[in-house]
Amino acid sequence: MVDYGRRFLIGLCRGDQGLAALALGCILSGMRMTMSSACVLALGALSLAAGMGQVGVEATLSPSFTEGQSDAEWKEFVELVCLDCHGGRDPSGGLDLGAALLDPSAHVDDWEKAYSAVQGRYMPPATGTLGAGLDREERIEWTGGLLRLLQADGEDPGASTIRRLTRSQLGGVLHDLLGVPVRVNRFLPRDASGYGFDTTGDTLFVSPYYFEIWFELVDAALDDVRGNRKAAMALYDPGGDVREQLQEFVGRAFRRRATEAEVAARLGIVRAETLSGATGEAAYFEAIRATLLSPVFLFRTESNVDASQDHSPVDGHTLASRLSFFLWGTIPDPELKGHADSGGLYDPEVLASEVQRMLKDDRAMWLGKDFGMQWLGASELKDMTPDVRRFGRFNERLRRTMGDEALAFFGDLIRHDRSVLECLDSGHAFLNGQLAQHYGIDGVEGKNIRRVPVDDARRGGVLGLGAVLTITSEPLRTSPVKRGQWVLDRLLRSPSPPPPPGAGVLPDDDRQEDGLSLRRRLVLHRADPSCASCHSRMDPLGFALEGLDGIGRIRELVEGAEPIDDSAVLDSGKSIVGVAGLKEALLEEPERFVRAFTEHLFVYAIGRPPGLMDHRALDGVVRRAAAEGYRFSSVIQGIVSTPAFLRRRSPEPSSTLESSEASEPR
């Protein structure tokens, strides 16, 4: 909890009587402390400060209020610190914490907002009542108080929306089921994304047109199977029992045992087709078509073991599916399915060893490709249009190679189970001849990308990836703002909020007609306090990367003119120089990065952003990872053991009105 004594002191030391008095008021009012110690000291300090200056106060005022905080005190803190802005008639940002305090459980959404603002270190602002932001301990205390206030259920898995398979998952699943590669990208649109990942249920739409294409795709895929005798025979054995084959296929496709009704419906199709003159195979393929078009296939339908509880563990098949879609992007393999069938997956040891096995499998490269590229934003590389005249070296081959570099980095991280801190800094890069030449590194030849030790701090880790540096640049220049925001968003998961209306925009070329450097302009921009609050967080992070140009090359001069200036003063007051300084600063708080990385993986795996109810579990993941040297697998194991992954909320019983109204879609 916030140490009011310290606040009191801050007020005193700044000569801010108001703040000191406020802190004192807080001390005197809400605390069931004995007046004897702190308050007397505080009063003494007040007169001391007023009369004799501020020498030596800190040492005498050690008792703090962080122990044994009560809910009343927590509320008091919110009232004193937050309500000036977030209360009353026109609460700032529409967030009324006054109302939320009166009835906490009815305002969970508001508390979520407050929580993420505090976690993201936006609130309380340095310019507010406290005169400073919260430090790490204080944030932990504050969040703890909030969780107590809300009586948060630590086992609650939260609400996730049912998810359709994504385009890239469909590609893998169809290949696994049908035995032929299916070019889904030729048919299906790129999936929209929520919170940075396309695996979030809320943005996985099925429109009439989507279904129309899906219908067409299934047809085309089955055509391809027919054209490939080996695949067709693997799928359908004319001599075998049709019911058994259907049972097996539908079960695999639906990622659980097929029900009697499901098999019977398909047998009906086979019969009708045969009656109208179709061959056995043609009839059987119609049944397969009905399976792939079914919502049970297209959506990840899940169930939990006890629907009478608000939430309970998911059933074995659901858990197996969650695992295999998370790590492999496709349906469970026979071994995992076996554990689901037997119920063995409920044993934490079996679960852990399955995760380990799956991560060692080549299919885990999926995670690098699907999660890794979305996390880094490297999937945006194909949308970038560096100016062809300014960056003549940028061509399609380089674009692809930069993507491959990012992939290789992530693949190596997974394959060798390295520390995720290597994302921040590692002594090696992934290069082939072309990239090495592009980056100005000698001695690497050939087309194959391989791990190469590097001693230049500007390489190694994700900050040195060509893909990252390119997607955070404009066509004609680097963008310290974009890069800073990228670091905040991707590496720390606390992006800056949008600029206020009317905020200016930077010129889009480094070559300045008015001679003002980009950096100088940004400094001017920050003179406006409303801009400074965010830009003082973003810009310095980006400045530190100024030694790398718009397509990731090392540079000493900006556009061949001025020397680059990659020194910066971080929001914390720390001065850094260049990429090396930035890496060092980020590594000073490894758990902050790991928490952010974990949260990104969480969004990807669970399909929703983490909320308050996940706070403790995520803290646990980070602690556990820290104890295991932040190995990649330790983070994955942690996520897999959160309630959000292992459990599921039971669907609320549908009202008759709702179900009758909606069972007849328009």
Partner 1 sequence: MKVQPVKRIARRALDRRTLLRGAGAALAIPMLESMAPPLRTELVAPKRFAALFCPNGMLPAAWAPVSEGGDFTLSPTLAPIEGVRESVLVLGNLFNKASRAGEGHYVKTTAWLSGAPVKRTGGRDLRVGTSIDQHLAGRVGSRTPLSSLVLGIESVRNRVDMGYSTVYGANVSWRTPTVPAERELSPRRAFDRLVRWTGTRGDGGRSRRVLDVVLEEAKGLRQALGTYDRHKLDEYLESVHTLESRIAAFEGTGPSDTADTPDGAVAADAPPEKPGAYPEHVQLMLETLLLAFRADATRIATFMFGNAVSGRDFSHVEGVKGGHHGLSHHENREGKMAMYALINRWHVERFAWLLGELGKMEEGSGTVLDRSIILFGSGLADGNRHDPNDLPILVGGGVLPGGQHVRQPELTPLCNLYARVLGEFGFEGEAFGDSTGPLAGI
- Kindly state whether residue 504 participates in binding partner 1, applying the rule CB under 8 A: yes
Sequence-separated (6 or more) residues with CB below 8 Å from residue 159: 608, 649
Is the preceding omega at residue 124 within 30 degrees of 0, hence cis? yes
- Kindly state whether residue 649 participates in binding partner 1, applying the rule CB under 8 A: yes
- How far is the C-alpha of 552 from the C-alpha of 440, rounded, in Å? 11
Sequence-separated (6 or more) residues with CB below 8 Å from residue 549: 469, 473, 478, 555
Window contacting partner 1 (CB under 8 A); options: 4-12, 339-347, 427-435, 493-501: 493-501
Q: Which of 476, 554, 577, 580 binds partner 1 (CB under 8 A)?
A: 476
Least distance (Å) from partner 1 to the CB of residue 13?
37
261 versus 627: smaller Cβ distance to partner 1: 261
Secondary structure of residue 512 in the 3-state scheme: coil
205 versus 248: smaller Cβ distance to partner 1: 205
Window contacting partner 1 (CB under 8 A); options: 71-79, 214-222, 408-416, 541-549: 214-222
Window contacting partner 1 (CB under 8 A); options: 7-15, 75-83, 161-169, 585-593: 161-169
Secondary structure of residue 3 in the 3-state scheme: coil
30 versus 643: smaller Cβ distance to partner 1: 643
Least distance (Å) from partner 1 to the CB of residue 303?
7
- Kindly state whether residue 505 participates in binding partner 1, applying the rule CB under 8 A: yes
The three-point CA angle 465-471-473 to 5° equals 105
- Kindly state whether residue 614 participates in binding partner 1, applying the rule CB under 8 A: no
Least distance (Å) from partner 1 to the CB of residue 186?
5
CA distances from 417 to 326, 422, 556 (A): 17, 11, 35
Compose the 229-268 pattern: x for residues touching partner 1 by CB under 8 A, - for all others: --------------------------------xx--xx-x
- How far is the C-alpha of 160 from the C-alpha of 634, rounded, in Å? 24
- How far is the C-alpha of 72 from the C-alpha of 145, rounded, in Å? 10
Least distance (Å) from partner 1 to the CB of residue 358?
25
- Kindly state whether residue 210 participates in binding partner 1, applying the rule CB under 8 A: yes
Window contacting partner 1 (CB under 8 A); options: 60-68, 211-219, 528-536, 582-590: 211-219
- Kindly state whether residue 213 participates in binding partner 1, applying the rule CB under 8 A: yes
- Kindly state whether residue 122 participates in binding partner 1, applying the rule CB under 8 A: no
- Kindly state whether residue 226 participates in binding partner 1, applying the rule CB under 8 A: no
- Kindly state whether residue 196 participates in binding partner 1, applying the rule CB under 8 A: yes
188 versus 582: smaller Cβ distance to partner 1: 188
- Binding to partner 1 in span 288-347, by CB under 8 A: 289-290, 293-296, 298-299, 301, 303
- Kindly state whether residue 166 participates in binding partner 1, applying the rule CB under 8 A: no
Compose the 556-595 pattern: x for residues touching partner 1 by CB under 8 A, - for all others: ----------------------------------------
Window contacting partner 1 (CB under 8 A); options: 125-133, 157-165, 361-369, 637-645: 157-165
Least distance (Å) from partner 1 to the CB of residue 401?
14
Q: What is the dihedral of CA 328, 331, 336, 338, to 10 degrees?
A: -170
153 versus 211: smaller Cβ distance to partner 1: 211
Cβ neighbours of 119 (radius 10 Å)? 20
Is residue 656 within 8 Å of 440, Cβ to Cβ?
no
Least distance (Å) from partner 1 to the CB of residue 139?
22
Dihedral of alpha carbons 72, 75, 81, 84, sign: negative
573 versus 653: smaller Cβ distance to partner 1: 653
Window contacting partner 1 (CB under 8 A); options: 122-130, 286-294, 558-566, 636-644: 286-294
Secondary structure of residue 475 in the 3-state scheme: coil
- Kindly state whether residue 132 participates in binding partner 1, applying the rule CB under 8 A: no
Of the candidates 359, 412, 375, 423, the residue with the CA atom closest to the CA atom of residue 638: 359
Phi, psi of 419 (to 5 degrees): -65, 135
Is residue 235 within 8 Å of 179, Cβ to Cβ?
yes
Q: Which residues, in sequence order, are bridge partners of residue 567?
A: 577
74 versus 325: smaller Cβ distance to partner 1: 325
Least distance (Å) from partner 1 to the CB of residue 22?
32
Q: Which of 176, 215, 305, 352 binds partner 1 (CB under 8 A)?
A: 215
- How far is the C-alpha of 18 from the C-alpha of 282, rounded, in Å? 84
Q: Which of 8, 74, 197, 632 binds partner 1 (CB under 8 A)?
A: 197
- How far is the C-alpha of 16 from the C-alpha of 90, rounded, in Å? 27
- Kindly state whether residue 448 participates in binding partner 1, applying the rule CB under 8 A: no
- How far is the C-alpha of 309 from the C-alpha of 652, rounded, in Å? 10
Site for partner 1 (CB under 8 A): how many residues?
A: 95
- Binding to partner 1 in span 392-411, by CB under 8 A: 396, 399
Is residue 519 within 8 Å of 565, Cβ to Cβ?
yes
300 versus 583: smaller Cβ distance to partner 1: 300
Is residue 548 within 8 Å of 458, Cβ to Cβ?
yes
41 versus 165: smaller Cβ distance to partner 1: 165
- How far is the C-alpha of 189 from the C-alpha of 187, rounded, in Å? 7
Residue with tokens 């992934």: 430
Least distance (Å) from partner 1 to the CB of residue 531?
14
Window contacting partner 1 (CB under 8 A); options: 117-125, 193-201, 359-367, 593-601: 193-201
Least distance (Å) from partner 1 to the CB of residue 108?
14
Least distance (Å) from partner 1 to the CB of residue 219?
7
Phi, psi of 239 (to 5 degrees): -85, -10
- Kindly state whether residue 608 participates in binding partner 1, applying the rule CB under 8 A: yes
Is residue 432 within 8 Å of 446, Cβ to Cβ?
yes
Q: Which residues, in sequence order, are bridge partners of residue 312?
A: 648
- How far is the C-alpha of 638 from the C-alpha of 421, rounded, in Å? 16
- Kindly state whether residue 109 participates in binding partner 1, applying the rule CB under 8 A: no
Q: Which of 157, 377, 550, 638 binds partner 1 (CB under 8 A)?
A: 377
Pairing state of beta strands 299-300 and 163-164? antiparallel
- How far is the C-alpha of 203 from the C-alpha of 607, rounded, in Å? 10
Q: Which of 185, 279, 448, 660 binds partner 1 (CB under 8 A)?
A: 185
- How far is the C-alpha of 223 from the C-alpha of 210, rounded, in Å? 20
Element (H, E) at 312: strand 311-313
Residue with tokens 């739409």: 205
- Kindly state whether residue 219 participates in binding partner 1, applying the rule CB under 8 A: yes
CA distances from 620 to 326, 637, 638 (A): 20, 11, 8
- Kindly state whether residue 195 participates in binding partner 1, applying the rule CB under 8 A: yes
Window contacting partner 1 (CB under 8 A); options: 1-9, 133-141, 448-456, 498-506: 498-506
The single-letter code of the amino acid at 466 is G
Is residue 194 within 8 Å of 202, Cβ to Cβ?
yes
Q: Which of 34, 36, 47, 207 binds partner 1 (CB under 8 A)?
A: 207
- Kindly state whether residue 517 participates in binding partner 1, applying the rule CB under 8 A: no
